[in-house]
Structure formats: C-alpha cells, structure tokens
Amino acid sequence: MPVLVMKFGGTSVANPDRIRRAAKRVGIEVAKGYDVIVIVSAMSGKTNELVGWVEETAPMFDAREYDAVVSSGENVTAGLMALTLQQMNVPARSWQGWQVPVRTTSAHSAARIEEIPTDNIRAKFAEGMQVAVIAGFQGISPEGRITTLGRGGSDTTAVAFAAAFGAERCDIFTDVDGVYTTDPRITDKARKLDKIAFEEMLELASLGAKVLQTRSVELAMRYKVKLRVLSSFEEPSDTAGTLVCDEEDIMESNIVAGVAYSRDEAKMTLLSVADRPGIAAAIFTALSDTGVNVDMIVQNISEDGRTDMTFSCPTNQVARADKALAAAKEAGGLNFTELVVDRDVAKVSVVGIGMRSHTGVAAKMFKILSNEGINIKVITTSEIKISVLIERKYMELAVQALHDAFELDKAS
C-alpha cells in the first residue's frame, strides 16, 4: 500500500478532544487505502513546561538528562493518539524514537538524523497495522541515549520518515491553513499560496517565517519529498493548504513569492579593524566557536590600512558575540578600536524564484522603502532573495509597503 506521513503540531494535539479530531483525519486517509505514519509533537505548552522544570532543577544541566526529560512530552501524545485510533477500530500502535530506531548523532538537544531503518514498521504494516504513531523530535545516539532534534524537530522527523519510506506526500498539520505571502497579522492583504517552491520556502523559513522548521525544508528539497502545510481545524479537501514542491511543478508564479521579517535582530560593527588577509577569518571564527549565528556581513572600503566590519546576529546572542570578540582582541588575534551595537533593527526580505529571470527587483524594493522614508542600514542578496536591515519601528510599514508594491495579494 502507498505510505502517507501526517504530522500534527502541538496545537493540533493540545488536549484529548483535539487528538480525537486529528485521529479522524488519520482515519479518512486509512479509508483511502494508505498505510499512515503519524508524527506527533508534545501537547501545546508541554515542552516549555518540561524545559522549565529541568532549568529549575539544575541550571547547569546534563544535556543527556535534559533530552530524557524534554522528549517525554511526545511519548505521551503518541500513546494517546494510538489509543484514540484503536477506539475507532483503526489498528495502530505507538513508537518512541529508540524503538524504530531513529538513529541520530550524539549532539544532545541538537541531534541530526543519520538513519531510519524501515524494517520494524514495514513488518507491522504487513501484519495488519494500519497506523504507526511516532513520537517526533527524538531519536537515539550511538551510545544508546535518547536525543532530541532541537525545537521544531518534529517537522524534521516527519520529512525524514517520508523520505525513508518513499511516502507519496508528507502533510504537516498546524494552526494555520497554509503558507501566506506574508504574516496575516501585519497585513490583511496576505494571500494563502496554493504552491511554493522548496527554495522559496527554505528562504522564507530561514528569514523568519515560522510555518516550517528550516531543517525540514532542507531535507524535503534534498529527497524531493512533497510537503503540504494545512490546518487540522479546517474540513478536509484535496485543495486545502499549501503544497511545497519542486520549481518544475509550478506552472507560473509571481516574481516575488513572499515578504518575510525578523524582529529580533542586532547590528554589530567593529570599528577600525586592520585590513589584512585573514582578518575576516579571525573575526568570524571567534564568533563561530562560541555559537553566534551571523547573518548579514558588510565590510567598508579600506582607508589607511583600516576598515569597519558590520554583521547582524540575533539579539539574544549579542552578549556572547561581545564576549567572544573581546577575548579575541585580548588574545592578540584581533585589533579594533570599538564595537558598536544597535539592537533596534529588524530584517525585512523579499523572496521569489522569479527574481532569477527578472531584473529591477532590488531597484523597486529600495525605491519603495525610500518613498516611505525608511533608511536601509545593511543589504544582502542571493539569487532569489533580497534582505535589508532597517530601524525596527519601520518594520511593519516596510512589510505592508512591499507587499502592496509587488501585488502579492493577486495570484499570478
């Protein structure tokens, strides 16, 4: 039988009533003739509660025990989902990550999936099981310890299972009914997309869109797993949600597919850095070694052998970056006169595969922002993306103006 993967997020399984609603969706697909693999998250709010308990018990916690505790939320949901399906006379059983087994690296709380053997679950399907309910977000290390994949890791679990089993599709059920051209909370003109290319979704996810975890989109693109994002609170239909697929599966698309934003950005500038070979490596190695996630980078024109280096990072990593750069300076590997930090910025980006074959997108974007009196602090581009750092107070205005100017409320 064909395999379908269905993943239910925390809001979709927040209580027994919602689990029953989700189980009915699973039952519909079983009736169509699918063997179904269901990936579940912990009930809404449960992971945060478990993390809080760990931090209260041991502020300097053992990461292995952290994973043992935090992964338990998914185990509860998986068991309840299997019981609910059994009450509906659907043959189902639950699986924890170690039982499959989902083999991962040893990086506790940020493990990566290395292998998902299919023999155990395929054998159960052959015996008459129709639904395998898998606890998402977790696996087992080579040392035999429970690992977790990082926040949002159940999305990655779902895509990995779809790839391993050659699933016809992977449905991701959330509290939104698809992928929108931008955040509907910022503009009521935001439009739900019927289809979006993997590359566009990957850019939007990495730039601040919260619909899918970035790693899950990377995995789907690599293994050509068709993803469908839809709401568990809407009535089922073949046209519901947004399909994330290959560019070739989209006949026509707008030049710009969406506008993304990230509110929690900071701009950091090293003043009067020596302009010599290896200086950029010295700066960004120091930041990388302490886990600072650098995004946009700009180096000014050199003057008298000195230059300024600007980069952006999440606001919650500013203190870590400051400490790393100060340590590098003290060790003698880096020389600068001052580190200037601006925490009052936001990143706004336009994304679209149509930008590959159309000129003038950057010029139009910059003119729109200029017309609104918005000053651009930093610019970075890729083949299908343009991002700018601006003052945070102008973020919503920028998103609305760009959404209107590129007519994203209209289908192509």
Residues of the chain under the 50 pLDDT cut: none
Tokens 């945060």: give the residue. Answer: 48
185 marked ligand binding residue:
yes
Query: Helices marked H in 15-94 — which ranges?
Result: 16-31, 46-57, 63-70, 72-87
228 marked ligand binding residue:
no
Residue 172 to residue 168: CA distance in whole angstroms: 13
310 marked ligand binding residue:
no
> Which of 3.40.1160.10, 1.20.1050.10, 1.10.357.10, 3.90.550.10 is the CATH number of 3-175?
3.40.1160.10
Angle ∠(344,349,350) on CA atoms, nearest 5: 160
| Per-residue pLDDT at 354 | 86
> Which of 3.40.50.150, 3.30.379.10, 3.30.2130.10, 3.40.50.2300 is the CATH number of 259-405?
3.30.2130.10
Tokens 């300097």: give the residue. Answer: 60
74 marked ligand binding residue:
yes
Residue 308 to residue 291: CA distance in whole angstroms: 22
Model-level pTM? 0.82
Task: Report yes or no: 366 and 402 within 8 Å, Cβ to Cβ.
Answer: no
Distances (CA, A) of 29 to 26, 93, 121, 210, 345: 5, 16, 18, 27, 46
Residue 321 to residue 270: CA distance in whole angstroms: 11
Tokens of 299: 């180096």
Q: Which of 214, 190, 186, 189 is nearest to 200 (CA)?
A: 214
| Per-residue pLDDT at 243 | 92
Q: Which amino acid is at 31?
A: A
Task: Report yes or no: 213 and 227 within 8 Å, Cβ to Cβ.
Answer: no
**Phi, psi (rounded to 5 degrees) for 28:** -60, -40
Task: Report yes or no: 345 and 394 within 8 Å, Cβ to Cβ.
Answer: no
122 marked ligand binding residue:
no
148 marked ligand binding residue:
no
Side-chain half-sphere CA neighbours of 238 within 13 A: 1
289 marked ligand binding residue:
no
Strands (E), 236-285: 242-245, 258-274
Task: Report yes or no: 40 and 136 within 8 Å, Cβ to Cβ.
Answer: yes
175 marked ligand binding residue:
yes
| Per-residue pLDDT at 209 | 66
Distances (CA, A) of 217 to 14, 196, 220: 24, 12, 5
List, by residue range, all CATH 3.40.1160.10 domains of the chain.
Answer: 3-175
9 marked ligand binding residue:
yes
| Per-residue pLDDT at 239 | 73
Q: Which of 169, 185, 152, 153 is nearest to 230 (CA)?
A: 169
| Per-residue pLDDT at 412 | 66
Side-chain half-sphere CA neighbours of 173 within 13 A: 26
List, by residue range, all CATH 3.30.2130.10 domains of the chain.
Answer: 259-405
| Per-residue pLDDT at 331 | 83
* Maximum C-alpha span of the chain: 78
